[in-house]
Chain A
C-alpha cells in the first residue's frame, strides 16, 4: 500500500524513538566490557561478583596470577539452529581480568555460581597484612 508523505509521521517516529530510548533501557552496566564485575571489600575479605547468566560452572576457568583474577569462559547458545523471532542476548567467549587491591591467599579461594551470578571470595594474604612495628 502506498501512502502520501505526512510530516506528522516523522514527528510520531521521533516520539517512538524517544519512548524506545527510555523503555529499552540498556541493561546493567554500560561503560565496561562484558561480563560486568562488582568488587566488595570487607576488612581482609574480597568478594567479586560477576554477572554471567546462563554460563555453566564447568565452563568457567578462573585463574589467579599475582593479584590479578582472570575469568575466562564461554557462554554457549542454548537454542542453536532454531528460527528466532527476537534476538537480544549475546553469546560467545569472554575473558576479563580483575585487578585485586592486594595479594590474596591462593589457598583460600571460594567460587560459586548461583542465579547467574558468579561469586569469588578471596582473603588477603598474610604477608600483605599491615604489621605494627614496635619501637623499643
Chain B
C-alpha cells in the first residue's frame, strides 16, 4: 500500500516527497532568457540547478528558519521544498548559465548562443 502511494505521488508530483511548485516568470532580452522563480524560505545553499540534456531542473530546499511548529497558533501557509522542471531549447549557451538568489527570488540567466542573437544588418546604399 505504501509503495503504491509513493508511486502515485511520484507520478503526480514527479517527486517522492511533497513539494511546492514555485511560480515562475520567464522573459527575454536581447542576449538572454531570464527565469525568475519565487522560492521564499530558501537560501543560497539550498538551491540546486541542473541542466541535463534539455531538461532544466530547479530544486530549492527550505532552510527551516521558521519557529517550532508546536507554537503555531494561526497558519495560512506551509513551506515545503520546491521543485520545477523545464525543457529548454538548443539555442541557449549551456556553459554560461548564471544564477542568483535575492530575497526569495531565484534569477536564472540563460544566455542565447551567438548565432541566434539578433544581428543588425547594414544596408548599403548603392548609387
Contact = CB atoms under 8 A, between A and B. Distances in A.
Interface residues of B, number: 40
Contacts of B13: 22-23, 25
Interface SS of A by simple majority:
loop
Contact of B75 (A38, A54, A90): A38
Interface string A69-103: 00000000011001111111110000000000100
Interface of B: 12-14, 20-29, 33-34, 36, 38-43, 63, 65-68, 71-79, 102-105
Contacts of B102: 54
Interface of A: 19, 22-25, 27-29, 31-32, 36-42, 47, 49, 51-56, 78-79, 82-90, 101, 113-117
A38 B72 contact: yes
A28 B41 CA distance: 12
10 contacts: A25-B13, A27-B20, A32-B76, A53-B104, A54-B38, A78-B105, A85-B26, A89-B23, A116-B39, A116-B104
A37 B103 contact: no
A29 B77 CA distance: 5
A89 B71 CA distance: 30
Contact of A84 (B27, B75, B79, B103): B27
Contacts of B23: 27, 88-90
B36 A78 contact: yes
Contact of B12 (A22, A55, A114, A115): A22
A113 B76 contact: no
A86 B22 CA distance: 13
A2 B18 CA distance: 41
